Chain A
Amino acid sequence: GDSVTQMEGPVTLSEEACLTINCTYTATGYPSLFWYVQYPGEGLQLLLKATKADDKGSNKGFEATYRKETTSFHLEKGSVQVSDSAVYFCALILNTGTASKLTFGTGTRLQVTL
C-alpha cells in the first residue's frame, strides 16, 4: 500500500536557524505530494504542494521539491521563526480519477525558541 515516512520529532531550533524535515514515500501509482501544518488546537492547513516530478512547492518561506528518483519531498526553510512552531505533516494522494484518500506521515513537531 501507499505510505509516508517522516523524521521523528520533536525538532527544536533557535530562531533564524535552518530547517529540514525529511519525508519519503512509497506509492502504488503516481502521487501528488503535500505538506500540511497543524497549529495547537487547530485543524490542518495546506502549506505547499507539488503534483509532478521536479515541481517545487513554496509558501511563507517554506519549500519542498518533488524528487521521484529518491521518492522524497523534504521540507526546508532558511530561517525559522517562533511562529513556525507547529506539527508538520507530509502527505500524498494518488493522481487517479477516483482517489480520495490522503495518506499522511506521522507528523513532526517543530519547536522554535528565542
Chain B
Amino acid sequence: KAGVTQTPRYLIKTRGQQVTLSCSPISGHRSVSWYQQTPGQGLQFLFEYFSETQRNKGNFPGRFSGRQFSNSRSEMNVSTLELGDSALYLCASRLGWGNSAKNIQYFGAGTRLSVL
C-alpha cells in the first residue's frame, strides 16, 4: 500500500507570493493533518481535515489555510509569504477522526519550502 504522498518535495518562493502544497493520504484514510517543522519552533500542528471539513486548527494566522477534496486529498495554502514561513511542511493521514488511541497518524516525506 502506498504511503502518504506530498508534492512537490521542494519549493522556492519569494516574500509576498502564495504557495499551494498537496497531500495524498494512504488509501482508505479519510483524515489529513498538517504540521510545520522549523528549527526554532519544532513541530507544530496547523489543522486537520476530515470529510472535507476542518475539524481542528492550531495557532497560525489566517494566511495559512487548507481544504480537503471528496477523495480525501488535501491542499494547504499559504498567502503573502514571509521569511519565517520557511519550513518543512508535513502531512499526516489516519483512518478517521477521533478515537486517537487507535487512529495512528502516518506522515509523508514533507515539502520543504524556502522563502527568499
Contact = CB atoms under 8 A, between A and B. Distances in A.
Interface stretch (B11-19, B62-70, B99-107): B99-107
Contacts of B92: 44, 102
A102 B90 CA distance: 12
B90 A44 contact: yes
B42 A98 contact: no
A93 B99 CA distance: 10
Contact of A43 (B48, B101, B109): B109
Nearest to A32: B101
Interface residues on A, range: 20 to 34
Contacts of B104: 46, 49
Interface string B49-69: 000000110100000000000
Nearest to A104: B43
A101 B109 contact: no
A98 B109 contact: no
Label chain A's interface by main secondary structure. loop
Contacts of A99: 56, 98, 100
Nearest to A106: B42
Contacts of B110: 42-43
A28 to B, nearest CB: 14
Q: What are the nearest 4 A-B pairs in CB distance?
A: A100-B56, A100-B48, A104-B43, A101-B45
Given A32-B101, A43-B90, A102-B33, 20 more contacts: A32-B100, A36-B107, A43-B110, A44-B92, A45-B107, A46-B106, A51-B101, A97-B98, A98-B55, A98-B98, A100-B45, A100-B55, A100-B100, A101-B33, A101-B45, A101-B56, A102-B35, A102-B105, A107-B42, A107-B43
